[in-house]
Structure 1
Amino acid sequence: MSFFTSLSGMKNAQTDLAVISHNIANAETTGFKKSNAAFADLVATGGSTDPRLTPGIGSRVQAITQDFSLGALTQTGRGLDVAISGDGFLATANPTTGDLTFTRNGALEVVASGALQDPSGDLVQGFPVDATGTPTSAVPGNITLPLTNGAGSALTNVSINQQGLVSGSFADGTSQPVAQIALAAFPATGGLRAIGETKYEASADSGAAIYGNPGEGNYGAIRTGTLERSNVDLADEMVSLLTAQRNFQANARALDTATSISQVVLNLQS
């Protein structure tokens, strides 16, 4: 039994190393949220077993969770870079399938069609607004800026304020509000499923997205000209890396000891 106990410990240490390595690899990834591995012990016992004589049979991976704490906000000076100072996610839709995903990476850009996109090319979601910038619907949709205004003047600049209001400026000196960025929150943020490119999708564990306005209620305000850095602390990860390495080595040594004992027993029998 000691062989399997030590082997489970080695496998779990390997999983821990993989999680830590993934965190370190994304220490400079915009909007990245680090993961943590949690483990639980395994015990095999029956109703007739004396609970005081149960040694346990190893451990298993209990969960790999995401830490959604706020990363450092870094000034970029670029008008279409946005960060969320607080809770919430930018909602984006795949331009082909319409599938919704959620991200904290706010490096946005306007493409030739006027669509506001994230770095993956997905369409940023927002609420339609009236001429005063007041949202007219609680149902978000794709944000697309008009390439010309009613007078035929071309779009020259796009700005986003702390309330997430997206406005377009035109060659004739006029400007008009276009949409307000919609932020998404979830009943259980820890249940979101990571799908890569610092994106998440809703799951049965997270619940459906609840949309709201930036800076209102529990939704964070928008910080323009700013991006949120990864929340990975390299000093913490290096300490965790050394701990996981020691755990692997200790379990390997226990396995080696069990092998030596088994060899002695076999030699006695011969």
Structure 2
Amino acid sequence: MSFYTSLSGLKAAQTDLSVTSNNVANVGTIGFKKSNTEFGDIISSAPLQSSAMAGQGTRLRGIQQQFTQGGFESSDRSLDVAISGQGFFVTKAPGGAGQISYTRNGSFTVNKERYVTDGAGAVLQVLPTDKQGTVTATSLSSAKNLQLPLTTGSSKATQNLSMTVALPSDADLPADRAAYATSGYTFSRSDPESYNYSTATTVYDAAGAAVPATVYYTRTSAPTASDPNSNWQARLFVGDKEVSSDGNAAADPATPLTLTFDSSGALTAPTGAVDYAAVLPTGASSAIDLSFDYGSGTTQGLTAFSRKATSQDGYAAGQLDNISVGSDGLVTATFSNGESQALGKLMLATFANPEGLRQLGDAKWSATGLSGEPIVNEAGANGMGSIQSGALEQANVDVTEELVALISAQRNFSANAKAIETANNMTQTIVQLRA
């Protein structure tokens, strides 16, 4: 019997050695969790058995993984993420009925379809959110694949245009110029003699196409003894079409906007935004409906003509510029036009008994009856850990501790081998006894 008792010890030591060796081998594996072997003694039990009974060896009760926190390693990639605290990332294998797996390995990449995947090609799962980044559903069935936008963001037609300019008080009247002394004053954007100054900016149609917007300023009256005000006409052209300031798209010719300044150079009219008529310039996909505001910053004085500021609220579709992951797991795409879009929040899962998870390799696990059903939520909610972007969780393996365990396993193996040798010598001695 002692042979089999010692043999069970040999097998136990060998298993312990294998588990410890596996821990050491994966010290560099991202998100790896070390394992410990648990053994129990074997006792032959019977109703009339004496309490002074020798054991019959040892048996492997199980190999338990230790889901303690590993250290963090800094990274320069925003899609390298780590969980500080409890939880697992949720991934799904490609295909309609792909296997759901759970991992602490936060090294994710983007495949050719722009899905965010782990090293095995499984797609990272996120919780759906609204435009403000608030989670709208927290069940496992509501999970969606994290995919970087195939489009480059949305475009927006310009609706509000504001401009502040400084107009010189000593500007002449084009009608008094020699070229128009006999023929009379007629405006033409191709004739610089028919206006004083011009300034250009860019507006956008609904499809995001850039359209030039040019304003031509013509002084129409100077202060007199009876009227201290100065008047300018501002003609707005969007693309190749002049826009009427009275809101009448059918006006022909278009009505220019009159800017009136008092004797101090302050703008007295218009006093607010002016709604121009809708215009469809050549090449635009849809009509552009503008509200133009010169504000209180537009003045007339003893200064050179200048444009102080221009702003408009339209923009073209932008190129994907950046992906960021917040501490709450919110994945946000930022575009070159300044627009941002919430793509979802990283889904985290916890289990009542994580030691019951089934290992799949590559620092991934699947749920079992022993682990219980996954409890999913966003980072920071109901005991879930927080997300750290630009970091990876290292294996929770202490090399020094594992080397000591290797020495211990080796000594246990040697001791059991020695016990077998001793039992063999005793048996051989008994066989060689002579009557």
TM-score between the two structures when normalised by the length of structure 1: 0.97
Question: What displacement does 1:260 show?
Answer: 0.1
1:229 corresponding residue in structure 2? 394
The code of the aligned residue for 1:153 comes to G
Which deviates more from structure 2 when the two are superposed, residues 118-127 or residues 241-250?
A: 118-127
- 1:175 matched to 2:326: no
Does structure 2 conserve the Cα–Cα contact (< 8 Å) formed by 1:24 and 1:232? yes
Provide the rounded CA distance (Å) in 1 between the counterparts of 2:19 and 2:145.
Answer: 35
1:51 is paired with a residue whose SS is coil
- 1:62 matched to 2:61: yes
The code of the aligned residue for 1:150 comes to S
1:120 corresponding residue in structure 2? 120
2:411 corresponding residue in structure 1? 246
Question: What displacement does 1:143 show?
Answer: 1.3
Cα RMSD (Å): 1.2
TM-score between the two structures when normalised by the length of structure 2: 0.61
**Residues 46-104 of structure 1 deviation map (CA, whole Å, 9 limit, x = unaligned):** 2222112x001100001100000000011112211100000000000001342100000
- 1:46 matched to 2:46: yes
1:84 corresponding residue in structure 2? 83
Question: What displacement does 1:45 show?
Answer: 3.2
**Residues 82-133 of structure 1 deviation map (CA, whole Å, 9 limit, x = unaligned):** 0000000000000134210000000112233221112221111111111101
The code of the aligned residue for 2:58 comes to S
Number of equivalences: 269
Provide the rounded CA distance (Å) in 2 between the counterparts of 1:214 and 1:220.
Answer: 6
2:372 corresponding residue in structure 1? 207
Written as runs of structure 1 = structure 2, the 5 A alignment for 1:79-228 is 79-96=78-95, 97-138=97-138, 139-148=142-151, 149-151=153-155, 152-228=317-393
Return the match for 1:257 from 398, 410, 422.
Answer: 422
Written as runs of structure 1 = structure 2, the 5 A alignment for 1:18-29 is 18-29=18-29
The code of the aligned residue for 1:143 comes to L
Which deviates more from structure 2 when the two are superposed, residues 103-112 or residues 205-214?
A: 103-112
**Residues 150-206 of structure 1 deviation map (CA, whole Å, 9 limit, x = unaligned):** 224332321111000011112322111111101001111111111101000000000
2:282 corresponding residue in structure 1? none
The answer for unaligned runs of 5 or more in structure 1 is: none
Following superposition, which runs of at least 4 residues in structure 1 exceed 6 angstroms of deviation? none
Does structure 2 conserve the Cα–Cα contact (< 8 Å) formed by 1:163 and 1:213? yes
**Residues 4-63 of structure 1 deviation map (CA, whole Å, 9 limit, x = unaligned):** 0000000000000000000000011000000000100001132222112x0011000011
Identity %: 42
The code of the aligned residue for 2:132 comes to T
Provide the rounded CA distance (Å) in 2 between the counterparts of 1:166 and 1:222.
Answer: 11
